[in-house]
Amino acid sequence: MLKKWRPLRSHTVNWLLGCAVTFSFLVAWLPGEENAIPQATTLPVNAKIPVPIHPDRTHFMGARACLDCHRSEYVAWLGTEHYKNPINRYEISDVSVAKKYLDQGGTLDRCYSCHSAPDEKNFGRLSVESGTSCESCHGAAGGDSGWLNRHAVYGPNVTTLAQETPKHYRERIDYCDQAGMIRPSHQYEVAKNCFRCHMIGDATLVSDEVGHPVIHEKFSLIPYLNSDIQHNFHLNQRANADAPTLDTLRRGLSSLERQRVYLVLGQLAKIEVALRYLVDFPSDESLEERYAGKLIDAFEEGADEIDYYVELLLDPEDDEIKALEEDAVESLLKVIELFEDFDDLEEQTRAAARETASEIAKIADGFLKEFGDGKRLAALDVVLEELDDAPSKPLQP
């Protein structure tokens, strides 16, 4: 018997609609600019990229677990395609991509991994908790070792953000990283998590028989991050800031500096995810299939973009911007070499894809340590100016 995605119950739908309708009343008592949380002492942020544990679906809490502390973020989510897209919330029809995928031997597990926050608390049965929501992007939060009840506790009793000690901050952040929380300061993990769903790794899913679109060809990270999924209300629930407010507080990056970093990391993330998906192909011979070629094309496109960025950094179009020395961008130049080496292989293998993906991850780590503040990347502003507009506008209360 075909398993179905559980639709939202009628009383839940009414509750959500009520939440959206009464948002104006909710914000009435939320802290305004004049009452915003005082700034905390800026602390050093470890540049090392965390490796979150593989999400355990029994640890998914659902979006409502975040509502008490993140009211504006929750209402912003209600207006996103992540929430509104019916594919994320309703039952599978006989003509749906999911049904065709099942007929070809696929499993709903693959569908749930991107179109929902999966849940197994319902008597061990797989079901949908709340569509593509908080934990889909930030990692499963629950369980005894989860990050949900720890990530915003600044000390004993009623210690505020501004009162948190450096020692407690470091311990709290380390705990959350180990628990699998993908925080905004870990920009490379954020970018990779986007591409894990906005790039398909299963050739069957995008086959003619199933018909899922090859979505990575139309996906652009920065316009997407600037769209209706933007939900930067933490320090002021009345204002959706241009960048995550706590991360801005800690690292001091402007929105522009942050986007410069994302410009490079987005290409590296696309390359690494494409290579990781090639590793998951069933055999080395399957890398000769049409869709494997599309993933290799994504590698080439990313390498070409990195090559262009390096040219700009070495020879800025604006004479007032200081050019970088070649040794400063040596690791980025290696991306082009890695593609050429992979492309020149007589037989491209999953082992070669795995090794190359690991090298890309190291390059991203080194890039963050060298350029993570975005200040020396001003030559890339010309690229940011040419990007497409965001596909939708962020919520502003």
3-class secondary structure per residue, the chain: CCCCCCCCCHHHHHHHHHHHHCHHHHHHHCCCHHHCCCCCCCCCCCCCCCCCCCCCHHHCCCHHHHCCCCHHHHHHHHCCHHHHCHHHCCCCCCCCHHHHHHHCCCCHHHHHHHHCCEEEEECCEEEECCCCCHHHHHCCCCCCCCCCCCCCCCCCCCCCHHHCCHHHHHHHHHHHHHCCCCCCCCHHHHHHHHHHHHCCCCCCCCCCCCCCCCHHHHCCHHHHHCCCCCCCCCCCCCCCCCCCHHHHHHHCCCHHHHHHHHHHHHHHHHHHHHHHHHHCCCCCHHHHCHHHHHHHHHHHHHHHHHHHHHHHHHCCCCCCCCCCCHHHHHHHHHHHHHHHHHHCCCCCCHHHHHHHHHHHHHHHHHHHHHHCCCHHHHHHHHHHHHCCCCCCCCCCC
Residues 220 and 120 in one domain: no
Residues 268 and 207 in one domain: yes
Residues 135 and 194 in one domain: no
55-89 pLDDT, tens digit each: 566 788 888 889 989 999 999 999 998 988 767 66
Residue 16 lies in a domain: yes
The domain total for the chain is: 2
Alpha carbons 245 and 257: distance in angstroms, whole number: 14
Beta bridge partners of 118: 128
In the numeric block, the tokens 């629930």 are attached to 237
Residues 124 and 56 in one domain: yes
- Give the model's pLDDT for residue 397: 81
Residue 300 lies in a domain: yes
pLDDT tier at 121, thresholds 50, 70, 90: low
Residue 182 lies in a domain: no
Residues 210 and 347 in one domain: yes
Domain extent for 201: 188-397
Domain boundary, last residue among 143, 173, 197: 143
Residues 119 and 234 in one domain: no
- Give the model's pLDDT for residue 142: 86
How much is the pTM? 0.85
Q: Reduce the DSSP state of residue 128 to 3 states and report it.
A: strand
Residue 30 has pLDDT above 70, yes or no: no
Beta bridge partners of 125: 122
Residue 391 lies in a domain: yes
- Give the model's pLDDT for residue 120: 53
Residues 55 and 120 in one domain: yes
140-181 pLDDT, tens digit each: 898 888 999 899 999 998 899 999 999 999 999 999 999 999
Residue 375 lies in a domain: yes
320-367 pLDDT, tens digit each: 999 999 999 999 999 999 999 999 999 999 999 999 999 999 999 999
Domain boundary, last residue among 89, 121, 143: 143
Residues 107 and 255 in one domain: no
Residues 334 and 269 in one domain: yes
Domain boundary, last residue among 143, 174, 208: 143
- Give the model's pLDDT for residue 107: 84
Residue 28 lies in a domain: no
Alpha carbons 314 and 325: distance in angstroms, whole number: 7
Residues 380 and 252 in one domain: yes
Residues 125 and 214 in one domain: no
- Give the model's pLDDT for residue 74: 94
Residues 116 and 250 in one domain: no
Residue 30 lies in a domain: no
Residue 17 lies in a domain: yes
